[in-house]
Amino acid sequence: MQYFGGRASLIPCTRHADSRGNLQPFEFDQMPLVPRRAFVISDVPAGAIRGGHAHRSGSQLLVCLQGRIEVAMRHQGVQVTLLLVPSKVGLWFGPGVWCQQTYLDVGSVLLVFSSEAYDPDSYLEQTG
């Protein structure tokens, strides 16, 4: 599924589950971005909000590893809200798409792949 004319989309992610647990590989050559860095957000209190910005350039792929995370995205006055849970999909979005995550459950974990190195000057706090 695509949003904002292709500026954001749900991306299939492989996930294998059996009696031994879950295995979720990430093949970099099959991602919708070339990862320059990855980070994990964890130990966030239930109800806490993170993000709340867009980036001038670069893109990100969000994958919920545990719990439930509500994601609100906005671009050019249109807002979309969806729920990320551990599944076979991730959420990719490009530059200019404002994104905010609300951690609904204690123990929720978000894995983020980013196409750019950290640069606080790339943040756009209020975008429509």
Q: Tens digits of per-residue pLDDT, 86-111? A: 999 999 999 999 999 999 999 999 99
pLDDT at 5 over 70: yes
pLDDT at 127 over 80: no
Rounded to an integer, what distance in angstroms lies between the CA atom of residue 87 and that of residue 16? 10
Q: Taking residues 37-48, what's their average pLDDT?
A: 98
SS3 117: coil
What mean pLDDT, rounded, does the chain reach?
95
Amino acid at 106: V
pLDDT at 128 over 70: no
Confidence (pLDDT) at 7: 98
SS3 15: coil
pLDDT at 68 over 70: yes
The DSSP symbol for 19 reads: T
Rounded to an integer, what distance in angstroms lies between the CA atom of residue 126 and that of residue 41? 22
Percent pLDDT > 70 in the chain is: 98
Confidence (pLDDT) at 125: 82
Note the pTM of the prediction, 2 decimals. Answer: 0.94
Amino acid at 21: G
Rounded to an integer, what distance in angstroms lies between the CA atom of residue 9 and that of residue 75? 13
